Amino acid sequence: MAIVLGPNRYGKAETRVVRVTRDGATHRLKDVNVSVSLSGAMEDVHLTGDNAAVLPTDSQKNTVFAFAKRHGIGAIEDFGLLLARHFVESRPAVGHARVEIHEYGWNRIAGGHSFVRDGGEVRTALVHSGGGAETVVSGLTDLVVLNSTGSEFHGFARDEYTTLEPTDDRVLATAVTARWRHRGTDAAWDASYRAARDALLAAFAGTHSLSLQQTLYQMGRRVLAEQDGICEVRLSMPNKHHFLVDLEPFGMKNDNEVYFAADRPYGLIEGTVLDDGAPAAPSAWN
């Protein structure tokens, strides 16, 4: 047996940066979590302990802070591209850079310098640069949505373990994780993000659902139908079950009004919706 070093990468994960832009008394806030991962000619450090090619992860963290000051933080896709290109172009040993950024939203309260955190929702970007190829995947996590009617689930397969009752009126709730791959690397990121988020919400609300799978497909479809610059959407959606509570013991009828919101287990519905003519780019999602 020949033992060899396989794929490897390294970098500083989860550098939390808050960048305040002071425009007189009116401030703007960007709150991000940046993870850098570099790969390339890193045999020596693994095989012999020679660190000559290794840009310390500490330097990578410092670069994130320095770039936040020097360039500001605009759309997270742009900040990711800036960092990824910097590491590939400035370090001969680095053939590939992966930069993942999560952004936490803040809204202005009053005056110029007071803010309140958005709900749990997070905007995401994943950038790869190296070997002459670049990819950008945008997205969001924890977009929590609920339809209080307009959802059915029946006609499903049955076996000896099936106890689920069919329903023609249920609560449909999920926490959407969606990521979408752009065809290029120079979109109007903020406008594209808002349009994709709106499309996901409109499709969730506007689909009379026969299953969460059907709703998922409609959500991905809507994003692709509205934006030529996007060629692939990947969705992961937990079915946040809401069970009708039996109120008969208390002499009351439950007319689809009182639910037990279970947190686990949950159905996990995942799928990809794509332009089948787009060039495949599996590494864009790594």
Ligand X SMILES: O=c1[nH]c(=O)c2[nH]c(=O)[nH]c2[nH]1
Of 206 and 267, the one with the shorter C-beta distance to ligand X is 267
Q: How far is the CB of 139 from ligand X (least distance, A)?
A: 22
Instruction: Calculate helix-pair angle for 189-206, 76-90, nearest 10 degrees.
Output: 130
Contact status: 164 vs ligand X (CB under 6 A): yes
Q: How far is the CB of 159 from ligand X (least distance, A)?
A: 12
57 is catalytic: yes
Contact status: 212 vs ligand X (CB under 6 A): yes
Of 60 and 215, the one with the shorter C-beta distance to ligand X is 215
Of 17 and 212, the one with the shorter C-beta distance to ligand X is 212
> Which is catalytic among the residues 12, 96, 240, 242?
12
Closest CA to 230 of 219, 239, 216: 219
CB within 8 A of 271, min separation 6: which ones? 213, 216, 217, 220, 234, 235
Give the 3-state secondary structure of residue 102: strand
Q: How far is the CB of 238 from ligand X (least distance, A)?
A: 11
Tokens 């349009």 belong to 195
Q: How far is the CB of 164 from ligand X (least distance, A)?
A: 5
Closest CA to 206 of 221, 194, 193, 191: 221
Of 120 and 267, the one with the shorter C-beta distance to ligand X is 267
CB within 8 A of 114, min separation 6: which ones? 108
Contact (CB, 8 A) for 167 and 244: no
> Which is catalytic among the residues 30, 96, 128, 241?
241
96 is catalytic: no
215 is catalytic: no
Of the residues 79, 153, 204, 217, which one makes contact with ligand X according to CB under 6 A: 153
- The one-letter code for the residue type at 206 is G
> Which is catalytic among the residues 57, 141, 185, 272?
57
Of the residues 35, 129, 207, 211, which one makes contact with ligand X according to CB under 6 A: 211
Tokens 């406008």 belong to 191
Beta bridge partners of 129: 97, 134
Could you count the other beta carbons within 10 Å of the beta carbon of residue 234? 18
> What one-character DSSP code corresponds to residue 285?
G
Instruction: Give, as ranges, the residues between 36 and 75 that touch ligand X (CB under 6 A).
Output: none
Of 74 and 267, the one with the shorter C-beta distance to ligand X is 267
Cα separation, 72 vs 66, in Å, equals 9
Helices (H), 131-211: 189-206
Contact (CB, 8 A) for 196 and 230: yes
Contact status: 267 vs ligand X (CB under 6 A): yes
Number of residues that bind ligand X (CB under 6 A): 7
Mask for 232-261, x = binds ligand X (CB under 6 A): -------x----------------------
Of 37 and 211, the one with the shorter C-beta distance to ligand X is 211
As annotated, the active-site residues are: 12, 57, 241
Residues that bind ligand X (CB under 6 A): 153, 164, 211-213, 239, 267
